């Protein structure tokens, strides 16, 4: 192999790119990719109220189809570094494991697709598709782990304005549950946050007839809202509403409060759109309130819509490459939290496949060194099959 994914992963871990810091990680990739013939762009995006964040876009080839690998070099903070058995930014190998913040989420994944791309190009005269057409692109952001406003969403728009066209994308997030090859993420549930506000009339607790306690109404509406939303769909588990906080904020023992609030999050499947879901929730509250409870909803804007990448030639290609290297038949899953795939899906079909996610965001985050080698071989087979 011409490019060593383990060495690249260690180099990346040693860059302290704690979100939203660049930490030298993008500069390192820029150098590596430019040497292999990629045209590399760095783009910094900013917005009032957020820190400016650096991003990277690299492409080799000018023709379609354009296969994109996407990822983020920013990592969550290490927390108390003394709690780590191996320092979080040292990239130490102990036994057969590589330790460090970002080892699985997702500097390890980036190292593997970079190594796979470089190795493929080295074996094919430095071109994505020898004598024919095709491009390989890399979309790397430094703003995924935090607010994700100056990252992939803007980088995609920036690339589109330059006339870049993407045909398929692999996002290297840690998708596997137990072992490498068990899971491809082919879609994600949507996420919507709201607050239910019930207003009553403040009063003395000894004279409830002169007051209207909003807590009674809140409890009643909360019960109604916790009824099942659906029974799931072909590609998704049932949607789910979970209350995350109930707030009255009343420090007084003899006072009936004037207002009570409950915050909730809904993870929803492809049976709903955001608008339809809000309507459904508001209808349920309306029916339960029966004109006796005064309530309103505050909905937070959400950029996390549900999507699914349906089984087809692209999922088949990835699954075949995974089976060829690992002997496992990956499951197409839509579980888990949101990821940047929610933005990429507006430009091309996207799959998520990376390392095993078990230690992500934990102390002593680590990956088997062997997994880095195997994942690189899988990405290499995906590229080969894609340009075959």
Residues known to be catalytic: 74, 144
List residues bridging with 247 in a β-sheet.
Answer: 261
Q: Mapping DSSP to helix (H, G, I), strand (E, B) and coil, where does residue 69 land?
A: strand
- Return the residue of 74, 105, 212, 365 that touches Zn ion, per CB under 5 A: 105
Residue nearest to Zn ion (CB): 105
Compute the 3-state secondary structure of the chain and give helix, strand, coil in percent, each to the nearest 5.
30, 25, 45
Q: Which stretch binds Zn ion (CB under 5 A): 31-39, 104-112, 198-206, 292-300?
A: 104-112
Q: Are 55 and 141 in contact (CB under 8 A)?
A: yes
Alpha helices in 124-260 (DSSP H): 152-161, 214-225
- Distance between CA atoms of 283 and 292, rounded to whole angstroms? 15
- Return the residue of 53, 98, 106, 112 that touches Zn ion, per CB under 5 A: 106
Min CB(67)–Zn ion separation in Å: 20
Residue 18 lies near Zn ion (rule: CB under 5 A): no
The tokens describing 206, both together, are: 């000894």
Residues 6+ apart with CB under 8 A from 219: none
Q: Are 102 and 75 in contact (CB under 8 A)?
A: yes
Question: 54 vs 105, which CB is nearer to Zn ion?
Answer: 105
Binding pattern to Zn ion, positions 146-175, x when CB under 5 A? ---------------------------x--
Min CB(28)–Zn ion separation in Å: 18
- Distance between CA atoms of 285 and 282, rounded to whole angstroms? 5
Question: 105 vs 164, which CB is nearer to Zn ion?
Answer: 105
Question: 106 vs 332, which CB is nearer to Zn ion?
Answer: 106
Residue 143 lies near Zn ion (rule: CB under 5 A): no
Min CB(336)–Zn ion separation in Å: 11
CB atoms within 10 A of CB 204: 11
Question: 106 vs 318, which CB is nearer to Zn ion?
Answer: 106
Residue 352 lies near Zn ion (rule: CB under 5 A): no
Min CB(384)–Zn ion separation in Å: 26
The tokens describing 58, both together, are: 């690299």
CB atoms within 10 A of CB 340: 25
* Contact positions vs Zn ion (CB under 5 A): 105-106, 173
């Amino acid at each position: 192999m011409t490019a060593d994914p383990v060495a690249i992963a260690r180099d990346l871990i040693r860059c302290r790119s704690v979100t939203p810091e660049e930490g030298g990680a993008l500069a390192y990739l820029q150098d590596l990719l430019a040497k292999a013939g990629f045209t590399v762009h760095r783009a910094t995006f900013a917005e009032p109220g957020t820190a400016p964040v650096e991003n990277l876009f690299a492409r080799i080839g000018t023709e379609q189809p354009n296969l994109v690998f996407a990822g983020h070099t920013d990592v969550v903070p290490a927390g108390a570094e003394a709690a780590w058995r191996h320092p979080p930014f040292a990239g130490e190998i102990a036994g057969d494991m590589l330790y460090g913040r970002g080892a699985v989420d997702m500097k390890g994944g980036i190292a593997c697709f970079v190594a796979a791309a470089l190795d493929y190009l080295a074996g094919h005269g430095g071109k994505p598709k020898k004598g024919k057409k095709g491009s390989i692109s890399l979309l790397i952001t430094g703003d995924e782990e935090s607010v994700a406003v100056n990252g992939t969403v803007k980088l995609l728009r920036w690339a589109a304005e330059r006339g870049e066209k993407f045909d398929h994308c692999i996002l290297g997030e840690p998708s596997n549950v137990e072992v490498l090859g068990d899971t491809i993420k082919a879609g994600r549930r949507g996420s919507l946050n709201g607050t239910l506000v019930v207003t009553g009339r403040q009063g003395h607790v000894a004279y409830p007839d002169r007051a209207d306690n909003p807590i009674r109404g809140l409890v009643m509406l909360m019960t109604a809202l916790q009824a099942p939303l659906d029974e799931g769909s072909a590609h998704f588990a049932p949607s789910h509403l979970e209350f995350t906080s109930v707030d009255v904020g009343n420090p007084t023992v003899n006072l009936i409060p004037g207002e009570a609030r409950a915050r909730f999050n809904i993870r929803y499947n492809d049976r709903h759109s955001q608008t339809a879901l809000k309507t459904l929730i508001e209808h349920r509250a309306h029916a339960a309130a029966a004109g006796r409870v005064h309530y309103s909803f505050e909905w937070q804007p959400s950029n996390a819509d549900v999507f699914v990448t349906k089984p087809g030639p692209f999922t088949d290609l990835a699954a075949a490459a995974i089976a060829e290297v690992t002997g496992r038949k990956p499951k197409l899953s839509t579980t888990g939290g949101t990821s940047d795939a929610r933005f990429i899906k507006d430009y091309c079909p996207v799959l998520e496949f990376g390392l095993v996610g078990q230690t992500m965001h934990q102390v002593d985050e680590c990956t088997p060194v062997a997994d880095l080698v195997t994942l690189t071989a899988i990405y290499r087979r995906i590229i080969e099959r894609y340009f075959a």
